[in-house]
Amino acid sequence: MNFCYKDTELTSSVNKKTAFINLVSDHFSTSSFEQWDPHLETRPIIMNVNEFQNLLDHGAHEFLNNNLEEVNNILLHLYDIFVIPDIDLKNYSELFQTSFFCSRILLYLKEESYLPIVPFFVQLCIEIIAHGNNPSFCSYIEGSYSIIETLMVVRNRYFYIPKYKDVIPLISLLCYNIYYFYGENIVNQTTEIYALQQLFLEEQNEPYIFLPMINILRNLSISDDSTNRNFFEFIKIANDHENPQVVEYSMWCLYFWFKNSWNYAASFIKKEFVKPLSKKIKEPENEIILTIALYIYSYLWFVEDDEQNLLVSQCFPYENVLQLIFHSNSEIVSLVLVNINNCISISHFYMSFFISKGIIPYILQYAQEGQINVKNEAGYLLATIFSNARNGEIDEFKNVKVLSILCELCTIDDKDLIFVMIETFLRFIQEDQGIIQLFLSLDFQNELTFLSEQYNESEIGEMIDRLLTIVSQFIQQQE
């Protein structure tokens, strides 16, 4: 089989730290915490280092005097500094990190009497980390003060105090930042995944609960069967939620799970998972959900169990996918081509179906004119079709124009793509030596010689040398 899915990340604001400020202000601009909105006040002019240190000392003094209202004002002032864009605040971050003020807050944050300062401190931490993608600050607050455990305790307390429940999204945002660096520890040493699921089940309109889980899953492969089983049961509920933001965030969780833990997916590829996923391709709530659904479905073709394979094939929305070939979003088109490629690799029946629908001219057009991601996937799909087609199915495409497009694909810096193109050329020549004459008319030998030198002493280099030898022998025979 010629499965051609490649390990790439989808693009979305969920992958960008700059999304945090908007997420915070969007949530709190209509809440009782309007004073936190960074757009409500004019941004202050950055203070010098001495003034900043004096502010930290003042904060420590007020904290020791248990003047929590003034402590919150100071935390808000610090927050205002760290949301100033396009300024290097590394020195200020380090000063805050090593300050007595910061250490006292971290030390006492779990105590119930200090709950009123939690939202102000958490928001400040979000901005410090987000401002410079700051791993050292994360290491400090977790390594020295076990901030993850503290946040879990504080979150559970806040959840049952009605006037403070608006703080939970803020805690979720900080967890999102921190969990990026500590996913493995969280899975292996805590019950956080289960806790997040329970929070969602108790408070179902809360999409921010998914943010910490996204970053737990982002760079981590989870092998534990019970954890994975629980995760899929949870995601099944979230994917049917009426809130589109909940659905979108839960789909991002699935995306990262499949990206990193696909090897453990076999037992979860069942009708109750595959059919709803197919529906998200047929009737997507938005483009992000459609893109992720296509991404995940591209993995499902890899299942080895015959019954699961049949299920994946039966549930695939063929007609809808054909229409998506003309989508304006290149990422969606690219994933459509990947899915078609993996589908036709399963069985010649599906290849005949897509050929009968007349998709080859469109794929050739993408291979010639598409954006680079679409052009690459079009190349892989053409290689699969041309390498597996049966007698007569593609004869009309064995011409100079098509061969020129395939030769041009070899100039893309993608070793795997070049490999399948050379395989295709060798197959063409094996079936019809007249193809060599078309090669000669394109003057492609120089490019092949260059590629042979570039990939010398590798499998692809050997294949190119074999192709060059066949062409040279043909020329000699003609002479």
**Statement: residue 202 has pLDDT above 80:** no
Q: pLDDT tens for residues 29-58?
A: 333 333 334 333 444 556 789 999 999 999
SS3 458: coil
The pLDDT score that the predictor gives to residue 25 is: 38
Least confident among 74-78, 226-230, 420-424 = 226-230
Interval 441-454 mean pLDDT: 86
Which residue is it, tokens 């921190």?
A: 178
Percent of the chain that is helix, strand, coil (3-state, to 5): 75, 0, 25
Q: Which two tokens stand for residue 186?
A: 């969280």
CB 171 within 8 A of CB 151: yes
Q: pLDDT tens for residues 322-362?
A: 999 999 999 999 999 999 999 999 888 999 999 999 999 99
Distance of CA 352 to the CA centre of its chain: 33
CB 245 within 8 A of CB 204: no
CB atoms under 10 Å from CB of 309, counted, come to 17
CB 63 within 8 A of CB 101: yes
Look at residues 274, 270, 273, 173 and name the one whose alpha carbon lies nearest to residue 214: 173
SS3 1: coil
The pLDDT score that the predictor gives to residue 140 is: 87
For residues 179 and 174, give the distance between their C-alpha atoms in angstroms, rounded to a whole number. 8
Percentage of the chain exceeding pLDDT 70: 88
Interval 73-100 mean pLDDT: 88
For residues 153 and 109, give the distance between their C-alpha atoms in angstroms, rounded to a whole number. 10
CB 150 within 8 A of CB 115: no
* CA-to-CA dists, residue 93 to 70, 136, 197, 221, 244, angstroms: 21, 10, 33, 32, 36
CB 299 within 8 A of CB 274: no
Least confident among 83-92, 274-283, 365-374 = 83-92
For 115-140, b where at least 16 C-beta lie within 10 A, e where not — what string?
A: bebbbbbbbbbbbbbbbeebeebbeb
- 104: CB partners within 8 A, 6+ apart: 60, 63, 64
At residue 24 the predicted structure's pLDDT band, cuts being 50, 70 and 90, is very low
At residue 454 the predicted structure's pLDDT band, cuts being 50, 70 and 90, is confident
Q: Which two tokens stand for residue 85?
A: 């864009």
The pLDDT score that the predictor gives to residue 40 is: 37
Distance of CA 386 to the CA centre of its chain: 31
- 339: CB partners within 8 A, 6+ apart: 294, 297, 298, 301, 316, 321
Q: pLDDT tens for residues 122-144?
A: 989 988 887 766 678 888 888 88
**Statement: residue 3 has pLDDT above 70:** no
Residue type at 87 in one-letter notation: I
Phi, psi (5° rounding) for residue 160?
Answer: -105, 10
- 74: CB partners within 8 A, 6+ apart: 55, 58, 59, 62, 101
The structural domains of the chain, with segments of one domain joined by +, span 398-479
pTM of the model: 0.80
CB 292 within 8 A of CB 254: yes
Residue type at 411 in one-letter notation: T
Q: Which two tokens stand for residue 185?
A: 């520890």
